[in-house]
Amino acid sequence: MNPKSTVWNPSEDRPRTPIRVVAGVVVLAIVTAVLTIPPLFVLSLFEVAVLTSAGVGTMLLTTGLSGVAAVVGVWLVGRYIDRRRFADFGLGIDRAWWLDCGFGLALGGLLMSGIFLLELALGWIEVTGTFAGEALVRAVVGSLLLFLIVGVYEELLLRGYLLTNLAEGARGPLGIAGAIAFATVASSLVFGALHASNPNATLVSTLAISFAGVMLALGYVLTGEIAIPIGLHITWNLFQGTVYGFPVSGLDFGASVVDIEQGGPAAVTGGSFGPEAGLLGLGAMVAGCLATVAWVRWRYGSVEIDEDVALPDLR
């Protein structure tokens, strides 16, 4: 056997999937270091307030730099290793793309509102007050920017890049449908693992976040675009933390529109990790999957796996 065949796909004239994925991780790490370490170091020397104060400001700065690094890293790997156009990572932005993103935005807010209203009706949360004024405006704007960045770059990395590459690599032995199913599960497990070190994380919360990854991936594998996942990801987080005051994957962002005191059984509510780790969150994820399927059927006339997810259109 030609050793080159194990690392190089001659029919596609590019490295095979494991090499592409590893290269993506390496390039992303390098670009992230180059784009984030110098400015953070310089700002720390001048003791810029945003770095010395807790809250959204610090996280927004670091997340913003990481988001830029993710976009640049995926573009570099896509162009020079994957031989792929940047738009082919689920960013074929047009009118239809924005309509799907709008659906995702609405869905995330509705799902989290459903959790809040149900817990309120059951007496599991107590509204202790509402937060208003200029401080709230700053917190909402900061959180919106933060979750916008997170929604875009996590979906680009986990669904647009990783799921796509895994599906392409597995289509030989598994077939297109099997490869996309495998890639959905594998990328979702990675998504869960990336949240395993969050505050108050447990094995249950990690598995729950993995299932959230499946919910997010569904919009991609049915449409070939990450519009629905990006929209859903943004408002799921925004309404969870900034509107209703729940922890977001174990993280407390401080100011929220509604101040609450959480009660009820942790297994159902998610406890200190937030709704994602509870049965109510799981139910919302199932509802999110069903709503996504219904939207795709209404918008496109049928519900089918988009085979282009596993079929590269190379440069």
pLDDT digits (tens, 9 = 90+) for 10-41: 888 889 889 999 988 999 999 989 988 887 77
Percent of the chain clearing pLDDT 90 (strictly above): 69
* pLDDT band for position 3 (cuts 50, 70, 90): low
State the CB neighbour count (10 A cutoff) for residue 236: 29
**Both structure tokens of 200:** 């108050």
User: Do the Cβ atoms of 70 and 156 come closer than 8 Å?
Assistant: yes
Residue count of the chain: 315
What pLDDT does residue 54 have? 44
Q: Stretch 164-183: mean pLDDT, rounded?
A: 94
Nearest to 195 by CA among 255, 250, 116, 254: 250
How many Cα atoms sit within 13 Å of 315 on the Cβ side?
14
- Residue 280 neighbours by CB under 8 Å, 6+ apart: 115, 118, 119, 268, 269, 270
- Indicate whether 306 pLDDT > 90: yes
Where is average pLDDT lowest: 78-82, 254-258, 266-270? 254-258
* pLDDT band for position 253 (cuts 50, 70, 90): confident
Domain boundaries, the chain: 93-309
What pLDDT does residue 51 have? 43
Q: Stretch 266-272: mean pLDDT, rounded?
A: 95
- Indicate whether 1 pLDDT > 60: no
Helical packing angle, 95-122 and 203-223, nearest 10°: 150
How many Cα atoms sit within 13 Å of 149 on the Cβ side?
18
Amino acid letter at 191? Answer: F
State the CB neighbour count (10 A cutoff) for residue 182: 19
**Both structure tokens of 283:** 């139910």
